[in-house]
Amino acid sequence: MSSRDDSRSFWALLGLGGLGMLAGLAAAHHMETAGHIATGMDNQVVWGLPHVFAIFMIVAASGVLNVASIGSVFGEALYKKRAPLSGLLCLAMLAGGLMVLMLDLGRPERVVVAATHYNFKSVFAWNVFLYSGMAAIVAVYLWTMFERRLNPWSRSAGIAALLWRFALTTGTGSIFGFLVARQAYQSALLAPLFIVLSFGWGLAVFVITQSVMYAWNGRPLPAEAEQRLARLLAIFVAAALYLVLVYHLTNAYFARQHDFTAFVLRDGGLFPVLFWAGFVLVGSLVPFVLLVVPAARSGPGLALAAAFVVLGAFAFLYVFIIGGQAFPLEIFPGHEVRSAFGDGAVAHYVPRWPELLLGLGGVAAAFVATLVGVRVLAFMPQDELAAPK
């Protein structure tokens, strides 16, 4: 591809990403002016489809940094070459996820209040520090990679980023784990579950981005890199599936959780379909087979498996977030509650176009940040074996 064609493609992609961001901002403005009625949410399902996008991007932002940690902290040369791209994706996805999160909650200007008045009994207050701290640490981490004089500090910055991202993902899982009112959550398993999920989701995003970059530059991914990334992603996918099953088995063990477990795994209409077909089959079993069979993962197989993992992630989060809210609240345990308000009834939630556009706008923001970063600085992994075709 000539430099002129490359430049035209860059500006075309940048324009496409910019249009996606504008569409997301327009959707947020419409929801702000028209009110809550413009969405499919109600007073029971208050976290809708935008939160599915936001939580995915924030959790994946933490997990994608795992590539840099393996390189800088544990000294793996193959991963160290991919550390800058890993850090860039972390910042881009964190920014995109927070954009969706703030615009979906309404009154985004009141973030100033959240940043100056803290209620430390709230996990949301903790996340103000966790998100801003993550961005600052990763920015310093990238600085130590690109500035030769600071290279000796790269490992220390990597260790700090490793510890901080564990804290960030623990905080994200704890948002749900500490929600006592919601029968779907309130589990100590959610913090480690989200950490393990972040590993697989982040690595899947990294694999897709790297595959696009190599294809764009006409370079083949070295066989060693393909094999090791596939093996690592397979381990993460298997570990995530195991912990999700443990989570549901734990809920099935307690009598008070029997109804909810049956709801999301068997009786909940769309939710069991998304869980078994979306997360278990498409998002776990299919990519695992693609990753462990050498003939299946060669060529586009690795990127295809990563795409399936991302689809499974969205299916899991939709069941977890939307299904957890749609299940009726148990306000008076041990008693049957009936009223004209709809107590005890399953909430009916159908996402509407402003929610989808807002979520896609966050993805577009992460895409634009990654595209510009790769264009301006040397984020392309430098593999000696990856010679141009």
Which spans in 318-380 are helix H?
Answer: 324-326, 353-376
What is the reported pLDDT for 335? 66
- Higher-confidence residue of 40 and 338: namely 40
- Higher-confidence residue of 294 and 318: namely 318
Tokens for 154?
């790269």
Query: CA dist 125 to 26, 130, 147, 198, Å?
Result: 28, 9, 34, 21
pLDDT range class, residue 339, cuts 50, 70, 90 = low
Secondary-structure breakdown of the chain: helix, strand, coil percentages, each rounded to the nearest 5: 75, 0, 25
Residue 6 belongs to some domain of the structure: no
Residue 222 belongs to some domain of the structure: yes
In the predicted structure, residue 132 carries a pLDDT above the cut 60 = yes
Contact 170, 194 (CB under 8 A): yes
Counting the structural domains of the chain, the total is 1
- pLDDT, tens digit, 9 for 90 and up, residues 141-166: 999 988 888 888 888 998 999 999 99
Residue 234 belongs to some domain of the structure: yes
What is the reported pLDDT for 61? 95
In the predicted structure, residue 19 carries a pLDDT above the cut 90 = yes
Q: Which domain holds residue 327?
A: 15-376
pTM of the entire structure?
A: 0.91
DSSP per position, 187-231: -TTHHHHHHHHHHHHHHHHHHHHHHHHHHHTT-PPPHHHHHHHHH
What is the reported pLDDT for 331? 64
Contact 82, 382 (CB under 8 A): no
What one-letter code names the amino acid at 49? L
Residue 146 belongs to some domain of the structure: yes
- CATH code of residue 34: 1.20.1630.10
pLDDT range class, residue 332, cuts 50, 70, 90 = low
- pLDDT, tens digit, 9 for 90 and up, residues 228-248: 999 999 999 999 999 999 999
DSSP label at residue 347 = P
Contact 99, 161 (CB under 8 A): no
Q: Which of 160-164, 248-252, 361-365 has the highest mean pLDDT?
A: 361-365
Q: What is the mean pLDDT of the chain?
A: 87
Residue 274 belongs to some domain of the structure: yes
Residue 381 belongs to some domain of the structure: no
Contact 327, 346 (CB under 8 A): yes
pLDDT range class, residue 187, cuts 50, 70, 90 = confident
Residue 106 belongs to some domain of the structure: yes
